[in-house]
Amino acid sequence: MRYSASMSRSNRLGTETSPYLLQHAGNPVDWYPWGEEALALARELGKPVLLSVGYSACHWCHVMAHESFEDETTAELMNQLYVNIKVDREERPDLDHIYQIAHQLLTSRPGGWPLTMFIDPDDQRPFFGGTYFPPENQHRLPSFRELLTRAADFYKENRDDVKSQGEQLAGVIRRLEPGPGEHSINKAPLGAARQAIAQNVDREYGGIGNAPKFPHPSTLDRLLRHWRASASGEEPDIEALFFVSLTLARMAEGGIYDQLGGGFCRYAVDRYWQIPHFEKMLYDNGPLLALYAQAALATGEELFLRTAHETADWMLADMLAPNGGFYSTRDADSEGEEGLYYVWTPDEVKALLSAEQYVLIARYLGLDTAANFEGKWHLTVRETRQAIANDTGQSLDEVSATIDAARMTLLETRDKRVPPGRDEKQLTSWNALAIRGLAIAGNALERDDLVDAAAGAVDFIQNKLYKDGRLLACYKDGVARFPAYLDDYAFLVDAILELLQARWNTAHLKFAVDLADGLLTHFYDDAVGAFFFTAADHEQLMHRPKPLADDATPSGNGIAAFALQRLGFLSGESRYLSAAEKTLKRAWPAIDEYPHGHVSLVTALEEYLSHPEIIIIRGGASNVEEWRNSASRLYAPTRLVYAIPADEEGLPGALADRKPVEGETIAYRCIGTHCSLPITSWEALSAQIRETNNGVNDEQ
């Protein structure tokens, strides 16, 4: 009998909290969430597992769902031949990481979503895989229904080959991990990363490579730091600054950036940053917010400043939940069409604006040029405000005021459209990236509201996602789920250290210390160094990886080493410094061979070789804030400035000893573990800071 949604009970996704899984709860496919129930059933029935991994904002996931998972004939075949498991890659990055690597090894092709893997339930090892498959043979891809039959037949008839291939695959994956043994390390990867990145930079339109183009904020941050490190030398690396500035400008003026509402889409499908894949991800916007704020400090560019303000405004307006945490994504699609929410026609715009406004906005955002997206106009900057001002004889302020008023009118109208779906689960690691971005931007842009939001998100995580001394990874509908991963701990420690620079809170420092201790207890490989992605008591999967390379988000090992070094110097805890050092030594072959793929580890290496400068300011609340603002209002990525009121209690280690006499404000300037005598005037501290900026530093 044909299996239909109307005839059957709901599948087993109806009680899940993931919006992505709930999107599939009404499918005629008898989906299971990942777990022992599904795996045990597959073993009992002698069936393979069909694992489908995706996420709620994924356009091609929606396409495959409509074409195949909602089709009763296809669903009947899936239910007959497989035990079917659906996974939200944002909830279960552990599974996604393992099977993306397996897919690449099996197919010699890059992965992506939807990820479709055929798995032996006995050992969880895949024997075939792919990404999107169409319902009929096309685009040199087999029909999904045909593939279902062929893969099931292969599994049934070649069990020994499946086992043998699985063992070989597991061996290859194990060999991808860093090998045993410590290595001596040096500064060579810093220069090598810079040169390798330069070879792939688009010198006309910015970005890395051709198309599609991703923002790569970690890579741009690496270049900006490299420029700053060279700035006081005999040959400042102006080209590195140019690469960063060019990319940030092209992105901010392109269609990857929401020219009305602020915030960045996931990537551009073209070389020119004009047409995006329209989904908006929190994990992109947090790092990009930090990068634009830092670039504004470094260059003084008004475009970078405005982009940082607008991106922060979008995060607070659209992604901040009432509970203080941040939502995950905005979908690419609305009303079943990708990009529909964002595009316009000139007639629509003309009807909303005055003649003067339309003339300027049409020039500014390309409405007087040819349509660029399926017969409509996706707004991108085609002529700068300054160029329009020069041509019209108006001042830049007048042109900007007219353009911004028009943008506001269009935004108000767009807000009345059916918006793309929002995935409202709250992920610890992505919230940490948002916290870091808001803290850096709040400090740089002098916006207390951004610091408030960052602090509120830390409190949300501590109150809702930290139970019995352990962090959890995901919060949705009042439920915290899934043991946290390496990224959750590492990103959050790093974010709190940035937040403490914007606003001191001893309770937040203690939370960071607890998280760092959790990293060492549950994730660190004390025998040989580096951190596993999952905790020691995590469920047993086919592999327990130690990821080193940067991906869409920074490497957990890179951020762990970076943050533990900083926390170790701040708190005086040598265990953190030792773990960071051992991680770098264990990861050295990967850093040395492919530095531009491991820029987070390269940045941790930079601060290992040349320790960060930490300035501790103690005194009355108003004085310490004034000193802090003066010391931190410039781009100095290896300088940390902490303003701690004199009456603050419960400080750890040496911080507790650095207390001024009543009525006095003092500062300590530390390079690594070496600290200056107390500095009792701002003039003296300023002189030492200028000395550092001019390239004079303490002996390491």
Classify burial at 207, counting beta carbons within 10 Å of its beta carbon; exposed 0-12, middle 13-18, buried 19 or more: buried
- What is the C-alpha separation between 576 and 607, in angstroms, rounded? 14
Classify burial at 446, counting beta carbons within 10 Å of its beta carbon; exposed 0-12, middle 13-18, buried 19 or more: exposed
Domain check: are 168 and 246 in the same one?
A: no
- What is the C-alpha separation between 477 and 568, in angstroms, rounded? 37
Instruction: Kindly state the average pLDDT of the residues 21-32.
Output: 97
The set of residues, in sequence order, having a beta carbon less than 8 Å from that of 258 and lying 6+ positions away, is 264, 265, 280, 314, 342
- What is the C-alpha separation between 52 and 54, in angstroms, rounded? 7
Per cent of the chain over pLDDT 90 is 85
The DSSP 8-state label assigned to residue 177 in this structure reads S
Q: Do the Cβ atoms of 222 and 607 come closer than 8 Å?
A: no
Asked, for residue 12, whether it belongs to a domain, the answer is no
Instruction: Kindly state the average pLDDT of the residues 350-373.
Output: 97
Tokens describing residue 304:
């970078």
pLDDT reported for residue 696: 38
Q: Do the Cβ atoms of 247 and 220 come closer than 8 Å?
A: yes
Instruction: Kindly state the average pLDDT of the residues 307-327.
Output: 98
pLDDT reported for residue 180: 67
Mean pLDDT of the chain: 93
pLDDT in tens, 410-464: 999 999 999 999 999 999 999 999 999 999 999 999 999 999 999 999 999 999 9
Question: Domain holding 545: CATH number?
Answer: 1.50.10.10
pLDDT reported for residue 175: 86
pLDDT in tens, 206-226: 999 999 999 999 999 999 999
Asked, for residue 699, whether it belongs to a domain, the answer is no
Residues β-bridged to residue 31: 84
Instruction: Kindly state the average pLDDT of the residues 567-580.
Output: 96
Question: Domain holding 39: CATH number?
Answer: 3.40.30.10
- Please state whether 132 falls in left (phi above 0), alpha (psi between -120 and 50) or beta: beta
Instruction: Kindly state the average pLDDT of the residues 341-350.
Output: 98
Q: How many domains does the chain have?
A: 4
pLDDT in tens, 225-248: 999 999 878 889 999 999 999 999
pLDDT in tens, 248-266: 999 999 999 999 999 999 9
Domain check: are 327 and 462 in the same one?
A: yes
Asked, for residue 457, whether it belongs to a domain, the answer is yes
Q: At what angle do helices 506-522 and 448-464 cross, to 10 degrees?
A: 50
Instruction: Kindly state the average pLDDT of the residues 621-639.
Output: 88
pLDDT reported for residue 577: 97
Counting DSSP H helices and E strands in the chain, the numbers are 26, 20
Q: Which of 609, 642, 674 is a domain's end point? A: 609
pLDDT reported for residue 6: 34
The set of residues, in sequence order, having a beta carbon less than 8 Å from that of 380 and lying 6+ positions away, is 253, 254, 255, 259, 273, 274, 365, 366, 372
0.85 exceeded by pTM: yes
Where residue 694 falls among pLDDT bands split at 50, 70, 90?
low
Domain check: are 536 and 452 in the same one?
A: yes
Tokens 């349509």 sit at which residue? Answer: 371
Position 698 pLDDT exceeds 50? no
Of 455, 543, 697, 529, nearest in space to 169 by CA? 543
The set of residues, in sequence order, having a beta carbon less than 8 Å from that of 503 and lying 6+ positions away, is 451, 455
Asked, for residue 117, whether it belongs to a domain, the answer is yes
**Number of residues assigned to the chain:** 700
Where residue 583 falls among pLDDT bands split at 50, 70, 90?
very high
pLDDT in tens, 145-183: 999 999 999 999 999 999 999 999 999 998 888 776 667
Alpha helices, DSSP H, located in 545-632: 556-571, 574-593, 599-609, 621-632
Alpha helices, DSSP H, located in 177-331: 188-199, 217-230, 238-253, 282-299, 302-314
Instruction: Kindly state the average pLDDT of the residues 22-38.
Output: 97
Do you find a cis peptide bond into 114, omega within 30 degrees of 0? yes
The DSSP 8-state label assigned to residue 466 in this structure reads E
Domain check: are 202 and 324 in the same one?
A: yes
Asked, for residue 183, whether it belongs to a domain, the answer is no
Domain check: are 319 and 350 in the same one?
A: no
**What is the full DSSP assignment across 622-640?**
HHHHHHHHHHHSS--TTEE
Domain check: are 508 and 574 in the same one?
A: yes
Residues β-bridged to residue 83: 49
pLDDT in tens, 485-526: 999 999 999 999 999 999 999 999 999 999 999 999 999 999
- What is the C-alpha separation between 484 and 94, in angstroms, rounded? 10
Residue 99's domain comprises: 19-176
The set of residues, in sequence order, having a beta carbon less than 8 Å from that of 57 and lying 6+ positions away, is 279, 280, 281, 328, 329, 330, 331, 332, 420, 421, 423
Where residue 621 falls among pLDDT bands split at 50, 70, 90?
confident
Domain check: are 542 and 596 in the same one?
A: yes
Of 570, 559, 572, 568, nearest in space to 530 by CA? 559
Distance of CA 10 to CAs 66, 158, 459, 581, Å?
17, 34, 37, 52
Asked, for residue 62, whether it belongs to a domain, the answer is yes
Tokens describing residue 46:
């002698």
Q: Which of 558, 592, 609 is a domain's end point? A: 609
Of 496, 507, 479, nearest in space to 433 by CA? 496
- What is the C-alpha separation between 75 and 84, in angstroms, rounded? 10
Asked, for residue 554, whether it belongs to a domain, the answer is yes
Domain check: are 292 and 347 in the same one?
A: no
Asked, for residue 331, whether it belongs to a domain, the answer is yes
Position 4 pLDDT exceeds 50? no
The set of residues, in sequence order, having a beta carbon less than 8 Å from that of 158 and lying 6+ positions away, is none
Q: Which of 609, 633, 661 is a domain's end point? A: 609
Domain check: are 386 and 349 in the same one?
A: yes
Domain check: are 555 and 480 in the same one?
A: yes
Where residue 629 falls among pLDDT bands split at 50, 70, 90?
confident
Tokens describing residue 317:
């307006």
Domain check: are 542 and 622 in the same one?
A: no
Domain check: are 172 and 212 in the same one?
A: no
pLDDT reported for residue 655: 82
pLDDT reported for residue 692: 67
